[in-house]
Amino acid sequence: MDNILDVVGAVFLAVGCSLTLVAAIGLVRYPDLISRQHIATKPQVLSLIFNLTGAAIIVRDSSMTWTMILVIAFQLITAPISAHMLSRAGYRTGRVDTSELVVDDLHEDLHVAPPHGDNRENIR
């Protein structure tokens, strides 16, 4: 039984590390900030989940498992937040080529005149 669990954990670790490599390759090859943001966020979180699950399966310690669950939950909450903030900051500081975008909802919020009394430009 222990042997089987070790093998399962090793498979998880291998998949996780491969996904980290996928994220890194995408980071090098993708052309602009938004697509790099995309490739850096999604495989990164999945690889982290695989890595930490693999370690938890191999070690098989209760405090270890709970901490891994905590870290995974924290990453699932914070990775979208940081990705969103970086992309939004990139858009607002003019580092995104808006002519390449298919859907551009922020343009309406930022450049069309807001109705009277709207102080939306103070929100960043």
Partner 1 sequence: MILVVAACGVLLFAAAIAVLYRIERGPSTLDRMVGVDVMTSVVLGALALLVAYTRRADLLAVFVVVSVVGFLGSVAVARAARPEDPGKRRILTIEEERAIAEAEAAEEDSQTDEDNAEPVHPDGSDEEDTDG
CB 91 within 8 A of CB 33: no
Cβ 102 to partner 1 shortest distance, Å? 21
CA 45, CA 19: separation in Å to the nearest integer? 9
CA 115, CA 120: separation in Å to the nearest integer? 10
Choosing from 1, 2, 42, 86, the residue that interacts with partner 1 (CB under 8 A) is 86
Cβ 67 to partner 1 shortest distance, Å? 4
Find all residues with CB under 8 Å of 19, minimum gap 6, and list them: 43, 44, 46, 47, 50
Cβ 116 to partner 1 shortest distance, Å? 27
Closest CA to 43 of 19, 21, 60, 65: 19
The length of the chain in residues reads 124
Q: Is 95 in the site for partner 1 (CB under 8 A)?
A: yes
- Contact residues toward partner 1 (CB under 8 A) are 6, 9-10, 13-14, 16-18, 20-21, 23-25, 27-28, 33, 36-37, 40-41, 44-45, 47-48, 51-52, 54-55, 58-59, 61, 63-64, 67-68, 70-71, 74-75, 78-79, 81-83, 85-86, 88-90, 92-95, 124
